[in-house]
Amino acid sequence: MQLWNGKTLTVILLSALLLGVLYCYISQSYRVVSLGSVWEEITADGSRTDVVTVTPWLAPVVWEGTFNPVLLDSIYKPQNISVAVTVFAVGKYVMFLKDFLETAEQYFFVGFNVHVYVFTDQPTKMPQVKMGSGRQLTVRSVPSSKRWQEISARRMELIQTLIEEKLRNRTDYIFCLDVDSKFHGRWGTESLGGLVAVIHPGYYRDDRSQFPYERRPQSRAYVGPGQGDFYYCGGAFGGLLQEVHQLAKTCRSNFEADAKEGIEAAWQEESHLNRYMWINKPSKVLSPEYLWQDFKPRNAEVYIVRFSGVVKNYAEIRPNV
Ligand code: UD2
């Protein structure tokens, strides 16, 4: 009886050992299978733990190292998507067009259908820029203005009209960008989404109470204490055409209604955009890599600057102070 018990114990122990070895082997191979191609590709650049990569409403926050550009391009390429860009160059700001357009050719949605719409009061001063295959440039005349605030804010109206008159049913996505900026790195399919906002480089490390939202309750751009998510840039936003149309239409009408009551929000259309994005959460948020400022030294978490505002002398280039 004792002998049988001893043998049984040995068999049980050996079986347990064998099962253990088998379990380790199978789980190891399963890991390779399940984490194989896709996962390893996504994490190929290393995942990011030093920055917020998803918002509390589950929108991705795009930083270098959080996406696979090759995989993303291969998803969008067969869809033959088209991307429109708006850029305004009124008064002395025409001087920024050449660099903006040339660097866009190098870095912005390379290999995709891109149509750049330049709004200017001086079409004769348009620089000659060679556009690549599948890429187009259209110039639209706009009146000049004596107030930079008006030029900046009127963009919403002109974007709304452009979408209604020209782009509807012809373009999938649109991005609206400041002209006094240059591209320095890839800006591509990773930025696509329904409603896309860019986190302002000047405030992303600050507490929400420091954000320069419009704080007067009389304004339609008002964001109260404890409200708001990020502080977003007025200098870059975009998304699906219908989403940007809704944004531009709302910001324009709120800006104009405020103006009728003698109120101009602290940062013009940027304030209205921030209010809009607080109520209508963006489905994709781009990190400050997508609009840095040349005068700011690059912070450690910013591995790459993709688009950045040039240093400018406001007193020299704006029509008013
Ligand atoms: C910030 C925003 C800008 C806008 C503004 C508030 C960023 C990087 N920039 O920039 O988008 O929200 O605050 O109104 O987030 N423009 C002309 N001619 C002029 C003046 C302006 O064409 O005489 C156009 C031009 O496209 C320029 C844009 O308006 O890029 C914004 O003006 P800005 O760059 O002078 O505004 P800024 O630097 O205060």
Residue 226 pLDDT > 90 = yes
Is the pLDDT assigned to residue 211 strictly greater than 60? yes
- Mean pLDDT across 192-207: 97
Residue for token pair 């001087």: 95
Q: Tell me the average pLDDT across 118-123.
A: 97
Q: Which amino acid is at 267?
A: W
From the candidates 105, 270, 289, 316, which is the catalytic residue? 270
* Residue 27 confidence (pLDDT): 47
**β-pair type (113-120, 195-199):** unpaired
Residue 113 in contact with residue 84, Cβ under 8 Å? no
- Ligand 1 pocket test target in 147, 152, 247 with most atoms within 8 Å of CB: 152
Distance (Å) from CA 35 to ligand 1 centroid: 45
Tell me which amino acid residue 283 is. Answer: S
Q: Which tokens go with 35?
A: 């984490």
Q: What is the mean pLDDT of residues 85-89?
A: 98
pLDDT interval class at 23 (50, 70, 90) = low
Instruction: Kindly indicate the confidence band of residue 4, based on its pLDDT and cuts at 50, 70 and 90.
Output: low
Q: What is the pLDDT of residues 30-52, one digit of tens each?
A: 333 333 333 343 444 458 999 99
Which of the listed residues 178, 273, 314 should we mutate to test ligand 1's pocket, taking the one with most ligand atoms within 8 A of CB?
178
Q: Tell me, what's the pLDDT at 286? A: 98
Q: Tell me, in angstroms, the distance from the centre of ligand 1 to residue 152's CA.
A: 5
93: pLDDT strictly greater than 70:
yes
Instruction: Give the residue, by CA position, lying nearest to ligand 1 atom 17.
Output: 90
**Per-residue confidence at 2, pLDDT binned at 50, 70, 90?**
low
User: What is the overall mean pLDDT for the chain?
Assistant: 90
**Annotation says 270 is catalytic:** yes
Pocket of ligand 1 (CB under 6 A): 88-91, 93, 148, 151-152, 178-180, 233-235, 267-270, 291, 309, 318-319
